[in-house]
Amino acid sequence: MNAKAIVVTSGKGGVGKTTTTANVGAALAKLGEKVCVIDTDVGLRNLDVVMGLEGRVVFDLIDVFEGRCKLRQAIIRDKRVETLYLLAASQTKDKSSLSEHRMQDTVRQLLEDEGFDRVVIDSPAGIESGFQTAASAATGALVVVNPEVSSVRDADRIIGLLESREITEVRLIVNRLRPAMVKRGDMLEVDDVLEILGVKLIGIVPEDEQILVSTNIGNPASLEEGGAKTSASQAFRNIARRIRGDEVPYLQFDEKRGFMAGLRKLFGGA
Amino acid sequence: MFGWFKRRKSRDALKERLKLVLSYDRAKLTPGKMEELKGELLAVIAKYFPSDAADYDVRFEQQGNRMVLVANLPMKDEDR
């Protein structure tokens, strides 16, 4: 993706936006990019705990917007990967200083003045001002969708809103896929979701208990090496590589039937 | 015993439901309005040529990136 500022969004809540932001951000940093992940879910911040950085938050996004601190004071450096930084959302519910203009200015400063290669913006659920603010600073988007009815419907709505904002690089992450359910015909296949939503795919992440375990201890799974080849952490690392332009084959969850064969055909093997 | 074999996969049901609901969502039209549209369309068509209302099929269809309204209104056989 050419976009240096990427918003992670979904419309529906609870589909894995924050987990995706943390894992893709961490994986990009591990590949050598200087990355800042920004939590824009004002009043309901969570990216800090998912990344295990909650104990180090001093200033937040609203402090930056209201001029209580310098941007550089508010970005928290991750100790595991030295090129990874977090800008936390505030936990107070006052959103009055949230503005598209301030958001755009903050992202511009990170990219131009602070030398960041990539800014990954975790959007709040919904299609209201929080989402609009998050999207306003982005030139690319990762739309996270679960293969179920309300998530797909909401994703369609979000894709329409992103397109009306002229965000051209919109990529889809199918999250929490359960290969066994797909195999018995009780879950949408990835190519069903692509056919319905009509956007390009960038990742398929299987349902994986390890994600919850990693979140429990505040260590993004994508930072942990090893693990099963078909794990969610591997899927997130692959997404980071695809964002950087590498061609990475999609994970194969069912060797025998190869349920992704159609998908690969659809994308000409890319 | 082989009931499961005939059971319609929930995946297919969901796929159809999603395609239908998204066609209404994208067109910003409720299913009720769509029925009205069908009725009015029928009335207009009937003014010009006789056809069989029972065979009318009006629906949205996705063609590539755009939604199109497809109306299939066959003429009555005897008038051919």
Q: Decide: A5 and A40 in contact? Cβ < 8 Å.
A: no
A161 pLDDT higher than 90: yes
* Inter-chain CB proximity B11 and A188 less than 8 Å: yes
Q: Decide: A123 and A131 in contact? Cβ < 8 Å.
A: yes
**Chain B positions in Cβ-Cβ contact with residue A259 (cut-off 8 Å):** none
Token pair belonging to B20:
């239908």
CA A154 to CA A139: how far, in whole Å? 20
The pTM is what? 0.85
pLDDT band at A269 (very low <50, low <70, confident <90, very high): very low
pLDDT band at A261 (very low <50, low <70, confident <90, very high): low
**Chain B positions in Cβ-Cβ contact with residue A146 (cut-off 8 Å):** none
Mean pLDDT of the region A255-267 = 53
What number is the ipTM of this complex?
A: 0.78
Min Cα distance A205 → chain B (Å) is 19
pLDDT at B57: 80
Choice among A95-99, A106-110, A160-164, A167-171 with the minimum mean pLDDT: A95-99
**Which range scores top for mean pLDDT: A157-161, A251-255, A257-261, B65-69?**
A157-161
A270 pLDDT higher than 50: no
Q: What is the number of domains present in chain A? A: 1
Mean pLDDT of the region A176-183 = 94
* Inter-chain CB proximity A186 and B17 less than 8 Å: no
Mean pLDDT of the region B5-31 = 85
pLDDT band at B28 (very low <50, low <70, confident <90, very high): confident
Return residues 52-111 of A near B (CB < 8 Å): none
pLDDT at A257: 45
B62 pLDDT higher than 90: no
Return residues 57-76 of B near A (CB < 8 Å): 62, 65
Choice among A15-24, A45-54, A169-178, B49-58 with the minimum mean pLDDT: B49-58
Query: Which residues partner with A77 through β-bridges?
Result: A85
pLDDT at A177: 96
Nearest CA among A103, A167, A157, A152 for reference residue A129: A103
Token pair belonging to A200:
């390009």
Range of the domain at A98: 5-266
Mean pLDDT of the region B17-27 = 88
Min Cα distance B45 → chain A (Å) is 32
Min Cα distance A181 → chain B (Å) is 9
What percent of chain A is modeled with pLDDT above 70?
A: 92
Min Cα distance A46 → chain B (Å) is 31
What percent of chain A is modeled with pLDDT above 90?
A: 86
Q: Pick from B10, B19, B22: which is nearest to A186 by CB?
A: B10
- Mean pLDDT of all residues in chain B? 79
**Chain A positions in Cβ-Cβ contact with residue B15 (cut-off 8 Å):** 188, 192, 196
**Chain B positions in Cβ-Cβ contact with residue A183 (cut-off 8 Å):** none
pLDDT band at A266 (very low <50, low <70, confident <90, very high): low
Return residues 123-182 of A near B (CB < 8 Å): 148-149, 152-153, 156-157, 160, 182
CA A18 to CA A22: how far, in whole Å? 6
Q: Which residues contact B14 (CB under 8 A, 6 or more apart)?
A: A148, A149, A188
Choice among A72-76, A104-108, B39-43 with the minimum mean pLDDT: B39-43
A:B CB pairs within 8 Å: 36
Q: Decide: A204 and A188 in contact? Cβ < 8 Å.
A: no
Query: On the CB side of A108, how many CA atoms lie within 13 Å of its CA?
Result: 8
A145, containing H or E segment: strand A140-145
Return residues 24-53 of B near A (CB < 8 Å): 25-26
CA A142 to CA A100: how far, in whole Å? 19
**Chain A positions in Cβ-Cβ contact with residue B17 (cut-off 8 Å):** 149
A90 pLDDT higher than 50: yes
Mean pLDDT of the region B24-47 = 84
Which CATH number belongs to the domain containing residue A254 in this structure?
3.40.50.300
**Chain B positions in Cβ-Cβ contact with residue A186 (cut-off 8 Å):** 9-11
Kindly state whether A249 is in contact with chain B, defined as any CB-CB distance less than 8 angstroms.
no
